[in-house]
A and B are shown apart, each in its own frame.
Chain A
């Protein structure tokens, strides 16, 4: 088991390296750099000014060098600019240049500087992630139990009317992407046209003070899209378990139906949904980006959109590292959990 986890971690590290390099490569293409320079300086800069702007800030060094700097395995640049100012990657504003460290990158714990927010990437990522964490927590708290209940109710009597209607409901939710359900929910529950106005159509206030009124719609919007899929998996797995021999034995013994479902079927039926729930995390990340944009909730997904829209290289890299980490760790947990829950499967 330990060997399996070690191997997976090694693959994870390698994957993260490849992915960050791809992001690095794409954001460092010249047209992207030019756009960034123009948003940083001013939009009327001519080609020469753009070139010297980039040159002075070390953006025109060879790609592997820049990537090495970001990783912290290559010394940060120190460039005397064409305007006479000496700039260095590792210089802090209140530091004498000669005292600055030679290396500063991920390995030294320095995640870079966000050109969009004018502050440290690490600080931005952690605060934004905290806000998204609250959102995710409530989404999970709403989505997982309701999806499991729907799936179990539908799967325990396959083909019944409950099964038909709940299955149709699950199909409808999987066909409703967040930007559709969000728009419909806002229009129905928060617009003056329908006049209900039960909830707020924006979650900006929820960043300081999340309550039912301003946080319900974003949470429901994300939960709906993921719910159907988990419910269908639970239903399939429940329906399969209910046809098993030991369930028939229990029925013949005279065990009551609720007891069969709760004591005999449930544990075995929840193995498959567990993996699915873990693998939903990467999908939730997409939902988070859409919902945070739609409801103007300034969390991690919002930061991603801001970073990508402004070609904020180091923030984008930070965001990618975190999201790739989430994807791979949930995959790992889902694999390990599968083995623990299902004694018939072994990794070795």
Chain B
């Protein structure tokens, strides 16, 4: 077995990523075929920048999904150490490879003789799950607080804005160091924060349904009953963890979230929510002066109906764009956490931690740190381009 040349490495990687290309091609063909009937999503395919961004983002989504759910693409176990592969350059043949093992380390080995390529792909699984989810929760918190603050103004606005500014005045890294340590986890503080922060989607859903359907009580009760049952079970499963400060109702505790992961998740939501709040508040203050809001007020609609069914849908354009940008920013924050070794387990293949591991030998063996760096850069770049394309297209009409 010989060392692979760079062209061989590229060919092997492209082949290895086969399922991703297939999925991308199918997605683009279908989207192109039906782009006129797909609303804003379809319009995205009119903008080159937007399409490039979307392709990069979906590349990572598919790669992360296939690797995480189906165990494709990765060539070796991302946590396994192989003897003799320490700090080996890209394309090194695996020493003592047995039948069925992939024969090479495509992008080399890291300082603990693990496969860099597999770790990079495995790292994408974590990012594509946590970053959008955390951003979604941050939006739930930001919207639930921001819309009433902007609509009512006055003392409510002053109070919430002050708290938001307070959180924003913290240097993010200091906040992470204060919130994401094993010691803080012992006190249960992240879980208490989770109890509060994860409640917002439930509140949002309840108010959303009630404000619209309170005149048709049977429909409202049915919707609320089903929705709250599902959300409630998810909520209880999320915040509950056996053997920690919060463990009750263990019979309906469906799954346990790793304590480190929960802490990371909560703190990322906590850091993002104030910015979302400020954006939503600003948009609401702008939109509430429009005629259709005045019309709804004259009709005698309830305040919450106006906020959630008149103002919020009309703020969706900037919010969708910011959502894409914010997923990118969340990815950067997750990388920052990994870079400082906070939160997840040290052997975890998330990109930030891998960069941090690799940087110690950067001047001699740059590849273990370069690979996840470029992966992270490309994902965030894809999200930024996607946001740019969406902004351009949503401004057109």
Query: A-side interface residues toward B, CB under 8 Å?
Result: 15, 18-19, 22-23, 26-27, 29-32, 34-35, 171-172, 174-177, 179-180, 183-184, 186-187, 190-194, 201, 282, 285-286, 289-290, 293-294, 301, 304-305, 308-309, 311, 316, 319-320, 323-324, 327-328
- Number of residues of chain B lying within 8 A (CB) of chain A: 48
Instruction: Given contact pairs A187-B370, A327-B171, enumerate 5 new A-B contacts (beta carbons under 8 Å).
Output: A15-B162, A31-B184, A177-B376, A183-B355, A191-B363
A191 touches B166 (CB 8 A): no
A179 nearest CB neighbor, chain B only: B339
Cross-chain pairs A/B with CB under 8 angstroms, 12 sampled: A15-B166, A23-B178, A171-B385, A179-B336, A179-B373, A180-B373, A180-B377, A190-B363, A201-B363, A305-B177, A305-B340, A323-B171
Q: Which of B168, B170, B335, B340 contacts A293 (CB 8 A)?
A: B340
Query: B-side interface residues toward A, CB under 8 Å?
Result: 162, 165-166, 168-174, 177-179, 181, 183-184, 186-187, 189, 328, 332, 335-336, 339-340, 352, 355-356, 358-359, 362-367, 369-370, 373-374, 376-377, 380-381, 383-385, 388
B172: chain A residues within 8 A (beta carbon):
286
| Complex Cα–Cα for A190 and B359 (A) | 12
| Chain B interface mostly | helix
B355 touches A180 (CB 8 A): yes
Q: Which of B335, B358, B370 contacts A177 (CB 8 A)?
A: B335
Shortest CB distance A296–B (Å): 10
Shortest CB distance B305–A (Å): 34
| Complex Cα–Cα for A320 and B170 (A) | 8
A183 touches B187 (CB 8 A): no
Shortest CB distance A314–B (Å): 15
The 8 tightest CB contacts between A and B, nearest first, are: A308-B177, A187-B366, A31-B183, A175-B381, A175-B380, A31-B186, A180-B373, A177-B332
B181: chain A residues within 8 A (beta carbon):
32
Shortest CB distance A22–B (Å): 8
B173: chain A residues within 8 A (beta carbon):
286, 289-290, 301, 304-305
| Complex Cα–Cα for A27 and B363 (A) | 36
Q: Which of B166, B170, B336, B385 contacts A290 (CB 8 A)?
A: B336
**A285 with B369, Cβ < 8 A, contacts A31-B184, A293-B340 known:** no
A26 touches B384 (CB 8 A): no
A184: chain B residues within 8 A (beta carbon):
370, 373-374, 377
A308: chain B residues within 8 A (beta carbon):
174, 177-178
A27: chain B residues within 8 A (beta carbon):
178
| Complex Cα–Cα for A29 and B179 (A) | 11
A26 touches B178 (CB 8 A): yes
A286 touches B169 (CB 8 A): no
B162: chain A residues within 8 A (beta carbon):
15
**A26 with B336, Cβ < 8 A, contacts A171-B384, A183-B369, A289-B173 known:** no
**A171 with B381, Cβ < 8 A, contacts A29-B183, A29-B187 known:** yes
| Complex Cα–Cα for A194 and B381 (A) | 25
A19 touches B170 (CB 8 A): yes
Q: Which of A23, A179, A285, A327 contacts B335 (CB 8 A)?
A: A179
| Complex Cα–Cα for A180 and B363 (A) | 15
| Complex Cα–Cα for A34 and B186 (A) | 12
**A35 with B183, Cβ < 8 A, contacts A19-B169, A175-B377, A179-B339 known:** yes
B352 nearest CB neighbor, chain A only: A179
| Complex Cα–Cα for A256 and B331 (A) | 46
**A176 with B377, Cβ < 8 A, contacts A29-B189, A187-B369 known:** yes
A320: chain B residues within 8 A (beta carbon):
170-171, 174
A192: chain B residues within 8 A (beta carbon):
363-364
Q: Which of A31, A177, A186, A282 contacts B171 (CB 8 A)?
A: A282
A327: chain B residues within 8 A (beta carbon):
168-169, 171
